[in-house]
Amino acid sequence: MDKIETREPMIVHGKIILPYTHSAGRVGSRFLRELRDSRRILAIRCPACNRVYVPPRSTCARCFGQLEEWVELDGRGTLITYTVVRYSLPVHPVKAPFALGIIQLDGADTGLIHIVGEADLESLSIGTRLEPVFKEVREGSILDIKYFRPLSP
């Protein structure tokens, strides 16, 4: 055995694989069904503060009131902020490099996190106008929206 002080430290490769399942609930299920069946993006409005949530939720985070007023959005929106992911992980829905953005859809007051596709990653900028591209085969998932792409001027 060689002298221990001169050895290279050994690198151990591990992994954590955790499958999980959660219920989308009453409001989340309707949102996902509409994506899947009609390519429609639904939001929900708080009657007390007028805040429009997308993805929709059953209670207002500010007023704690029950939300029931559904609003259909046309899907277009504005890039609020983004990051370029350059490191691939199995958990990512697409291979790196790709842009992950927070998108404020027209008519909504909240940001929606999604992939920005068909975009030049080096010249992407905050304020870019975007539209959704739906998958052909949809299964009731937020990824039924393939990505948001820049609107052609």
Q: In what order do the strands lie in the sheet with 69-73?
A: 52-53, 41-45, 69-73
Q: In 3-state terms, what secondary structure has residue 83?
A: strand
The sign of the dihedral angle between the CA atoms of 143, 106, 98, 23 is negative
**CB-based contacts of 12: which residues, under 8 Å, 6+ apart?**
none
Binding site for another protein (CB under 8 A): 1, 4-5, 7-26, 28-30, 32-33, 68, 89-91, 140-141
Nearer to another protein, 28 or 150 (CB): 28
Nearer to another protein, 47 or 106 (CB): 47
Nearer to another protein, 8 or 122 (CB): 8
Distance, in Å, from the CA atom of 110 to the CA atom of 44, rounded to the nearest integer, reads 11
Distance, in Å, from the CA atom of 18 to the CA atom of 34, rounded to the nearest integer, reads 28
Nearer to another protein, 1 or 122 (CB): 1
DSSP state of 54: S
CB of 88 to another protein, least distance (A): 10
Give me the amino acid identity at 93: P
Query: Which tokens is 36 given?
Result: 């899947």
Nearer to another protein, 5 or 136 (CB): 5
CB of 150 to another protein, least distance (A): 28
CB of 153 to another protein, least distance (A): 36
CB of 120 to another protein, least distance (A): 29
CB of 126 to another protein, least distance (A): 29
